[in-house]
Amino acid sequence: EAGVTQSPTHLIKTRGQQATLRCSPISGHTSVYWYQQALGLGLQFLLWYDEGEERNRGNFPPRFSGRQFPNYSSELNVNALELEDSALYLCASSLGAGQETQYFGPGTRLLVL
């Protein structure tokens, strides 16, 4: 069974640009989560989507946004990039409907210059 996949693996942008990160959950999973892992720091919760709806949001500015598509894949958009947005962005998925175990993808490493 394929795990959570993310693309691209690496992304280099300059300040002020926009970045789009993509995630495909494990087949059958309806919930998708996004986390930011800055260098040397723990994982910070960004967003949770389930059945196409944003269910919860972490303490991040509105320029971090996303969506979930009918096939349950998800996009994370980061507008007006800042240097401190450089981090590993991890996507996780779970079965939804009360199944809490989150399985992580390999991440997208975003570098903002």
Does residue 101 interact with other proteins by CB under 8 A? yes
Sheet bearing 74-78, strands edge to edge? 5-7, 19-24, 74-78, 64-68
Least distance between other proteins and beta carbon 17 (Å):
25
What's the token pair of residue 46?
């960004």
What's phi and psi for 71, nearest 5 deg?
-90, 10
Residues 3-42, one symbol each (x = binds other proteins by CB under 8 A, - = not), give -x--------------------------x-x-x-----xx
Does residue 73 interact with other proteins by CB under 8 A? no
Q: How far apart are CA 86 and CA 89, in angstroms?
A: 9
Does residue 56 interact with other proteins by CB under 8 A? yes
Applying CB under 8 A, among 11, 22, 30, 55 the residue interacting with other proteins is 55
Applying CB under 8 A, among 20, 30, 95, 104 the residue interacting with other proteins is 104
Q: Report CA dihedral (39, 13, 52, 59) to the nearest 10 degrees.
A: 40
Q: How far apart are CA 18 and CA 82, in angstroms?
A: 10
Binding site for other proteins (CB under 8 A): 4, 31, 33, 35, 41-45, 48, 55-56, 58, 90, 94, 100-107
